[in-house]
Amino acid sequence: MAKLDETLTMLKDLTDAKGISGNEKESREVMERYITPYADEVYTDNLGSLVAKKTGDENGPKIMVAGHLDEIGFMVTRIDDNGFVYFQTIGGWWSQVMLAQRVTIVTANGDVTGVIGSKPPHILPAEARKKPIDIKDMFIDIGASSKKEAQEFGVKPGDSVVPYFEFTPLKNEKMLLAKAWDNRIGCAIAIEVLKQLKDENHPNIVYGVGTIQEETGLRGAKTSAHLIQPDIGFGVDVGIAGDTPGIKDHEADSKLGKGPQIIIYDASMISHKGVRDLVVQTADENNIPYQYASIAAGGTDSGSIHLTANGVPSLSITVASRYIHTHAAIIHRDDFENAVKLIVETIKKLDSDKVKEIILA
């Protein structure tokens, strides 16, 4: 692997961390380590979402920038007499990307390596071989010879099962391959936004947030936004890239390296027109590339943030990603850096008068 600079080291630490929905401790600790030097105060809500507060003008509006700490994975539900482990999916999985993939079971005794298996195609009827294997017919092989041995390894129901993949810059070093871009890249954006505002006299209070359980219903965004009571919300996440073979423009037209995505609509919210207009204006003024996108069948943390208290004008800004909700996805470093720049420049404009103007837009 090429030598990693400071930013790539942060991205590696974030994506290599294990943190499925409901067990985000490891990823939270990594985010806390990186964001604390740029925050005035760091704390959590009662479910474990991380909040890093940085005050510019203590009388200014509160701006929330939220990425989610959790990644999709699995949970152990039972062990059979032969030592094979069965599981519940955590978050959205497509069965075709799961078989023969390496996983890590996080136990009280340490990590246990396994691989997702099923009945081999060689013994299936011809018709069955043409169909994807149902998730309910899959299991995890940890090399145990019995239920007793699996239990001796430390495996028990409720344990987290995390996809295994190591962060890897590709030959084109701006193309970054890793697990959990969904959504450690959002956490990285929140960290970098606070870092770039460190010596800025911004007219507001900024909260960089790592939320929990986004993949299972935008839950941490709801509790952390209730705690913060923000005036403006930004959900930062991954979006769909449409630049691989077979995808038509009307399905997805975003391309890696062409700028962050401004989400105009998703299944959890319609983006706030006033916030959206300000972000687009800011991008144009600063020559920051951007792409419009919509996500008809998915949501982001903004879906919970914008419904907090009496309403929070919100927008999702995302990084186009190939192969999300698999063991390995690809993003472009320029899109990450431009997303940070766009949010930082927008935050500099968000004083009390601007927020009032946005609410009435």
Residue from 24, 71, 192, 214 carrying the catalytic annotation: 214
CA atoms of 37 and 52, how far apart (whole Å): 10
Place of tokens 């705690």: 227
Residue 42 sits at the vertex; the CA angle it makes with 17 and 342, to the nearest 5 degrees, is 75
* Contact indicator for 47, 216 with CB cutoff of 8 Å: no
* Contact indicator for 85, 140 with CB cutoff of 8 Å: yes
Tokens of 62: 């509160």
In this structure, the number of other CB atoms found within 10 A of the CB of residue 113 comes to 13
In this structure, the number of other CB atoms found within 10 A of the CB of residue 214 comes to 31
DSSP tag of 4:
P
Residue 182 annotated as binding? yes
Residue 192 annotated as binding? no
The number of helices, as runs of H, and strands, as runs of E, in the chain is 10, 18
DSSP tag of 2:
P
In the residue annotation, 214 being an active-site residue is answered as: yes
Distances (CA, A) of 331 to 110, 158, 174, 257, 322: 31, 32, 8, 8, 7
Residue 306 annotated as binding? no
* Contact indicator for 58, 38 with CB cutoff of 8 Å: no
CA atoms of 127 and 320, how far apart (whole Å): 37
Binding residues for Zn(2+): 68, 182, 215, 237, 325
The catalytic residue positions are 214
Binding residues: 68, 182, 215, 237, 325
